[in-house]
Amino acid sequence: MGGKPYLALAGELRNSTTSSQAYMKPIWPRLTAAHLNTVLAAVTWELMEPQEGRFDFTVVDNILKDARENDQRVVLLWFGSWKNGNSTYQPLWMKTNQVRFPLIQNERGQSLPTLSTLSETNRDSDARAYTVLMRHLREVDGS
């Protein structure tokens, strides 16, 4: 490791597993006991930006800290505007403002619970949050 390639023996956590540090506490030793050296863990936009423009990196920082303490590497999975084609993990402030953050519509004009890919506002909001996450990771975990 240390900037060199390594064989990732990885396990993927369930979608919301890392949202609770207490829930993760007994899982870290199980990952190590399974001889894994890498964990795939979700970072959800809704937890990272609970209010527009106000970021909370507690979940991310806990994942990184606990992974280090358990001699694990981390691959973060961004659950932003879409995950498997659905919009489940975007912040509440987006979900409650469908005028500003439009959803797709079916052929009858009914809104479906998925953000529109045609909305620049949707795209730009996700890109901004992801960029802030990348900056934070560089600051706390960059080499």
pLDDT tens for each residue of 20-29:
999 999 999 9
Q: Is the pTM of this model over 0.85?
A: yes
The pLDDT value recorded for residue 142 is 76
- In the chain, domain spans: 10-136
Rounded Cα distance, 6 and 86, in Å: 33
Backbone CA torsion sign across 139, 18, 100, 117: positive
Strand partners, 103: 115
- 39-98 residue pLDDT tens: 999 999 999 999 999 999 999 999 999 999 999 999 999 999 998 888 999 999 999 999
Residue 4 has a pLDDT of 87
Name the residue with tokens 């912040």: 91
Q: Classify domain 10-136 by CATH architecture.
A: Alpha-Beta Barrel (3.20)
C-alpha to C-alpha distance for 92 and 18, rounded to whole angstroms:
19
Note the Cα 98 to chain centre separation in Å: 22
